[in-house]
Structure 1
Amino acid sequence: MKLFRHGIEGHENPGVVADDGSLRDLTGIVADIAGDALSDTSLAILRGLDRDALPIVPAETRIGACVGRVGKLVCVGLNYVAHAAEAQQAAPAEPLLFLKATTAICGPYDTVMLAKHARKVDWEVELGVVIGSVCRYVTEEDATNYIAGYCVVNDVSDRFYQLEGTGQWVKGKSNDSYAPVGPWLVTRDEVENPSGRSIWLDVDGHRYQNGNTADMVFNVPQLVSYISNLMTLMPGDIIATGTPSGVGIGQQPHPIYLHAGQVMTLGIDGLGQQSQRVVDWTQ
């Protein structure tokens, strides 16, 4: 089942993709694709609906982030073998974690607005794991049972503020619009194994990232278990599981960074595709 959210930013309504690919409205059936609606019980009810009988979402409607009221966006650094190599670092012995401000979350087709102080803004396509139930001290063997589903995340990053100043990576990761999420939350029953999936990103039609989730240093169950032993994961929390090689900072002979007017297109096999135009800060 593919769930999504549609409408004006900050006032999105829930939706589901019908078998014929049409977008259907879930308003009045569930309050949002968030919180308790992500439980196994709630998802089973939604799965049993006659989707063809639901109202069609107009084609021109904005698609928002596929999860609402996200409490935490937990990110994993250097979690692809090839990406660690291009960063000229050894693969980490344990997951490298940082948090990204939830105010960075936006829709999969929204514009990415370069921050007023932007310097070296980069792209990172990532597999997102959406938590469905309270997750605390879980084992790797049981971790999948706490997952509602999966989505595409673009971890837009300003490398200057991430790497060249003092403090934590969060400074280069958290500007508004630096975390497009969606278009779909694909429930775990449709994703038997999130490993072995192609994951890619283009800028202006040029393929920069062309990886596979099988290249992860730590797989999804390992990450969910590890993180749940450090913090309680709540329904709607998202884990961004790292990016493959091909990021801008790793380009040779010189790094390449985003500028206004460019378009990022990215996706993961079976989870959908995003596209964002990059614009200058205008506020």
Structure 2
Amino acid sequence: MTTNTLVNSKLVCVALNDKAQLAALESSFNEAPYKKPPTQPVLYYKPRNTWSTDGAEVEWAKDFDGVDVPAMAVGASLGVVIGKETCRVSADEALDYVGGYTIVSDFSLPEESYYRPDIKGKCLDGSAPVGPEIIPADKIANPDALRVTLSVNGHLKSNFELADMQRSVAELISIISRIMTLQPGEIIAVGFAGDRVAVAKGEKVDAQIEGVGTLTNTLGGA
């Protein structure tokens, strides 16, 4: 299976899976409108219109009136590609349902709140490149031991150890499979560094995971 065939599937992203980010927001989550910290994974979709591929140009977002938005940001995650129908599986067996691993970049508007799903900020056309390829699951001994880096124009901007996630890959597969049935080829982006990286028009973004590859995209505009 190539990443080009995955654009017809669904992509589920996990927000707030960075332990450090959760700790920094703890006091905010105890206030209105949240009232308490999240007790379950915070999920959002990147629908089909957002899916893109390695090497593609990501269009700079525009506001409702067609004017360029003032700022965009990007995060990178390990993408867990489901290998077979997955429904209500335990954490102990969850990795047996993984077909492979890839990289997901999420270009979006800067997040201001986690209380309501940010449809506008997360559903921009072409804003979720996936790639550069799918590495078979048996080639990655422990997905939680991987490290996700993100560079802009060759300069390292983010370094996220998946060991620092609030919930492991297996835990997330198990929990999500109890919410929805996952089909072969569908992807879970398991966690992003809490600090998204600000990007500007024309910049080149490299998301890299050792053993998985480097996903490269550029932002449109001069």
Q: CA RMSD in A?
A: 2.3
Structure 1 runs (4+) deviating above 6 angstroms are none
Structure 1 counterpart of 2:130: 181
Of 197, 208, 220, which aligns to 1:267?
208
Q: Is the 8 A contact 1:139 1:225 kept in 2?
A: yes
Unpaired runs of at least 5, structure 1: 1-32, 35-64, 249-256
CA shift for structure 1 position 169 = 2.1
Mapped to 2, the partners of 1:239 and 1:218 lie a distance apart of 13
Of 96, 113, 117, which aligns to 2:59?
113
Structure 2 counterpart of 1:29: none
Of 163, 172, 175, which aligns to 2:112?
163
Taking structure 1 as the reference length, the TM-score comes to 0.68
CA shift for structure 1 position 206 = 2.2
Higher percent of residues as strand:
2
Of 56, 60, 84, which aligns to 2:22?
84
Mapped to 2, the partners of 1:267 and 1:165 lie a distance apart of 26
Structure 1 counterpart of 2:33: none
Post-superposition CA distance 1:18-63 (Å, at most 9, x none): xxxxxxxxxxxxxxx27xxxxxxxxxxxxxxxxxxxxxxxxxxxxx
Q: Secondary structure at the match of 2:103?
A: strand
Structure 2 counterpart of 1:225: 174
CA shift for structure 1 position 127 = 0.6
Q: Is the 8 A contact 1:122 1:157 kept in 2?
A: yes
Structure 2 counterpart of 1:204: 153
Matches within 5 A, 1:23-42: 33=1
CA shift for structure 1 position 100 = 1.3
Structure 1 counterpart of 2:45: 99
Mapped to 2, the partners of 1:225 and 1:164 lie a distance apart of 26
Unpaired runs of at least 5, structure 2: 30-36, 64-68
Letter matched to residue 198 of structure 1: R
Q: Which has the higher contact order (CA 8 A, sep 6+)?
A: 2
Structure 1 counterpart of 2:185: 236
Mapped to 2, the partners of 1:126 and 1:219 lie a distance apart of 13
Q: Secondary structure at the match of 1:218?
A: coil
Structure 1 232/146 Cα, relative in aligned 2: closer, same or farther at 3 Å?
same
Q: Secondary structure at the match of 1:150?
A: strand
Mapped to 2, the partners of 1:139 and 1:165 lie a distance apart of 28
Q: Percent identity?
A: 33
Q: Is the 8 A contact 1:66 1:183 kept in 2?
A: no
Structure 2 counterpart of 1:142: 93
Mapped to 2, the partners of 1:134 and 1:186 lie a distance apart of 19
Post-superposition CA distance 1:127-172 (Å, at most 9, x none): 101111111111111111111111110011112xx53699522321
CA shift for structure 1 position 69 = 4.5
Mapped to 2, the partners of 1:154 and 1:182 lie a distance apart of 9
Structure 1 280/96 Cα, relative in aligned 2: closer, same or farther at 3 Å?
same
Mapped to 2, the partners of 1:85 and 1:209 lie a distance apart of 18
Of 74, 77, 99, which aligns to 1:126?
77
Q: Secondary structure at the match of 2:200?
A: coil
What is the aligned residue count?
Answer: 209
Taking structure 2 as the reference length, the TM-score comes to 0.85
Q: Secondary structure at the match of 1:156?
A: strand
Higher Cα Rg: structure 1 or 2?
A: 1
Q: Is the 8 A contact 1:267 1:273 kept in 2?
A: yes
Q: Is the 8 A contact 1:67 1:185 kept in 2?
A: no
